[in-house]
Each structure stands twice: as C-alpha cells, then as structure tokens.
Chain A
Amino acid sequence: MFLLVAGALTVLTVRNLFVATMLLGIVSFIMALVFISLDAVDVAFTEAAVGAGISTVLYIGTLALVGSQEKAGIKVAPGAMAICLAVGAVLVYATYQLPTYGSPDNPVHTHVAPRYIQTSPIEIGVPNMVTSVLSSYRGFDTFGETTVVFTAGIGVLLILSQRRRRKSDEEEEKSTAKNGQSRNLSGIGSDHDLIPHVIAKLLIPFILLFALYVQFHGDYGPGGGFQAGVIFAAGFILYALIFGLQFTQRVLSQNAVLYLIAFGVLLYGGVGVVGILMGGNFLDYNVLSSDPVSGQHLGILLIELGVGITVAAAMLAIYYAFVGRADPVSKMPD
C-alpha cells in the first residue's frame, strides 16, 4: 500500500515522461496485487493485463510521437495544492461516516449482492459469480460498456487516420511497392535483436492459447471476455513490436480488425435480439434452449465471445492507429 503511494508520488515528480509511464505501469501492477488480497481476482487479472500491459504500450506509442521530455522547471501551484488538500480533508472527514471496512453487514452487502451470491449458482449454473452478474444480471450494462469500447476505437481511428489519407497516399503506395521492408512502420520494433525474436516466437503461441483459455474458462474460474480480449491483443502487439507492423497486418489486416470490432458488438446485440424473437426479453438467455440453465450457459458463452472479439479488435485497432502514425523520422531512439 505504501509502495503505491511512493510510486504515485514519483510519477508526479519525475520529469522524464518515459520514466513516469513505466512507474505508472508498476503502480498498476502493485494495485493488481492489492486487488488479489481483496478477493477481486477477476479485477486483478484485468488490471494486470490492461494497466501494466496495454496502457503502457499506448503511452509509449504516444511518447514516440510527441517526445518524452517535460518542460524543465517544476512549478509549484499553490492554488491547485490548496484545492487538493481541501478535497482530501473533506474526504477524510467523510470516511468517519463510512461503515467499517470488511464488516459483513455493510450497506453494500445487503441489497442485491446476497441475491447474486445465493441464487446465481442455481439460476445461471455458472460458478464464477462475477461472470454471471456481468453477462446475465447486468447484461444491459455490459452491452453499454462494450459499445463504449467500440466507440472509443472508432474515435481513435477517426482522429488519427485523417492526415495520412489526405497527404501521403501516394508515398504509401510507393513504399508498399518497395515490398515494405525498407520501412519499419512499427517505430519501436527492432530488426536485429536475436533474443527478443526467439523468446517472442516461443511465448506468443502460449499467450494466445492462454487468452483462449481465459475466454472459454471464464464461467468456471477468473476470466472472461474483457480479460481474454486484452490478452489476445497483447499477444499481437508483442508480435508487432518485435517483428514490425507489416507482418502483423499480414496476419490480421486493418480492415479485418475493423470488421471484427463491429462483429463483436453485433454478436452481443444479436444474442439479445434472438432472445426477443424466441419470446423472451432483450438479453434474456433462458429462452435460448429448452432448459433455462443451459440457455444461460449458451447465452453467456456467446456474449462473452462478442465482448472478447470487440475488446481485442478495438485494442489492436487503436494500436495500429498509433503506430501507423509514427513516421520513420520521428522514431524514438531506443
């Protein structure tokens, strides 16, 4: 816990943004460990994959484009400091009104949670309560969140792909005609390092396999669509970092990724609509099969798949957008 505070403070003071990003990754990772000790295994999983993995890569991708040194001279902002301390003081005062930490009769534990805990194994038949709440009881919510990820992916693509189309279409055609090998689009990828190549080749199949395991075993253990999608994307990003973007896009082209983002959301929504057509409510899985419990199983499997596909494709699309933006000139000296 104190490590967290120390890490956060250094993030604030350090002026090299690259170092700050790395420290943020470390803070995320410690936070994941704290989550495990707080019994939130699913969340810890996600935090480790997202906070320490994807977001660090995205920050570095940005730094490669904008330069990594903050303006010299540390400003002390007394106004901001005063506001911060005031907010902190009010919050500390408020904690005295909070129920005791860890006590089972807190208000949080007395509304819907007991119902989830007691009836979800019977109604849904899925041991992991987080999965059943996520995709069945709160299916609407999750649908909304998947759509947000979808929208954010589209937004990044719109913002970052504008100029390239206008200005350098011809250049790009030329460079692809040159077999693309002269230009290492990935910006951070390396051509010559043997050890990363070998290790990555060994690791990537296992990363992808693990992602699939997390995806389809999410009903029984910690895991699910969100985590699997992020891990899957991380596998591809690792490949792109080491072997360069062209090879990755040969495996999974930008257009394919775009279709996959939409396909995931459509799969999710489609399961809901099928529910309506078969006489239930939107996202009501009971009607999908003759037996409500197996219907729930099928529904959860399908929508988790939808979530996984959307998240993985959105993360990859965002990564492609960032890296495709990096010109060879502004390549970060490593």
Chain B
Amino acid sequence: MYFSYFNYWIFIILLMIGLYTVMSRSNLVKKLIGLSLFQISVFLFYISMGKITGGTAPIVVEALEGAPEPVYSNPLPHVLILTAIVVGVATTALGLSLVVRIKETFGTIDEDEILELELEEDK
C-alpha cells in the first residue's frame, strides 16, 4: 500500500527542493529556477490525481468489437495544467525581465549585495 502514494511523495520532495532553493539562494535567477521546480512539482501532483489505473488518454477511440468500453483518465486536470504551463512561462519571463532591470540598476543580481547597496544609500 505504500507504493500507492509514490507519486505524491515525489511531488513533495520536488516541492521541498524548489522551496529550499527559493529561500536559501540569494541569486535572483536561481530563485526563479527554484520557483520553476516548485511549479513543476505542482503540475505533477495535479496530473497524478487525474490518472486512473488502466485508463487511457482522454481522446475518444472506437471500442473494438467485444472489448469493454475504454476507461479515460480525467481530462479536467490536464486542461488546468496545460494552460498553467503556458501562463507559467509567461510569468517567468516577466520575472526574468525584472531581474534584467535590477542588474542594470544595481549592477548585481545577488540579493544580499543589493540590500547592502541600499543600506549604504540610506546612510
């Protein structure tokens, strides 16, 4: 019975790695990469939920003579994740463009160095 949760555990491990990357790395691009990992893990969770053992992709096929009706996996999570992927890359691009601007303003993309620069400006 432990294997029945295997996919969910992988999702959790990926999510933890992503979260840790976002929190512990001070490089902004690395943070965005961590965010992407986090995002991918959530996609995996959704798609795992939609899976039915022995099912097939949700595209209508003609049932063979005498064969049982085909079982389809749940199309709804697929729809949600499909759009989420494209939206995700668009928002990632937005984040990356902000990183580029930060680099131009501060000359660095390291969070700690940016904070130091700001402190110096305040003095």
Taking Cβ atoms with an 8 Å cutoff, the residues of A that contact B are: 1, 4-5, 8-9, 11-12, 17, 20-21, 24, 27-28, 31, 34-35, 38-43, 46-47, 50-51, 54-55, 58-59, 61-63, 65-67, 70-71, 75-77, 80-81, 83-85, 87-88, 91-92, 95-96, 98, 100-104, 106, 108-109, 112-113, 116-117, 121, 127-130, 133-134, 138, 141-142, 145, 148-149, 152-153, 155-156, 159-160, 163, 220-222, 224, 226, 229-230, 311, 314-315, 318, 321-322, 325
Contact = CB atoms under 8 A, between A and B. Distances in A.
B50 A24 contact: no
Interface in B1-51: 1, 4-10, 12-21, 23-27, 29-30, 32-34, 36-37, 40, 43-44, 47-51
Query: Shortest 6 CB-CB distances between A and B: which pairs?
Result: A102-B53, A152-B90, A80-B23, A77-B24, A39-B73, A127-B60
B102 to A, nearest CB: 8
Contact of A87 (B19, B33, B84): B19
Contact of A318 (B30, B34, B60, B93): B93
Interface of B: 1, 4-10, 12-21, 23-27, 29-30, 32-34, 36-37, 40, 43-44, 47-53, 55-61, 71-79, 81-94, 96-101, 103-104, 109-110, 113
11 contacts: A5-B10, A11-B33, A39-B52, A42-B82, A47-B43, A59-B29, A87-B19, A95-B9, A102-B4, A108-B77, A311-B86
Given A21-B33, A101-B51, A321-B97, A9 B90 contact: no
Contacts of A46: 82, 85-86
Contacts of A155: 94, 97
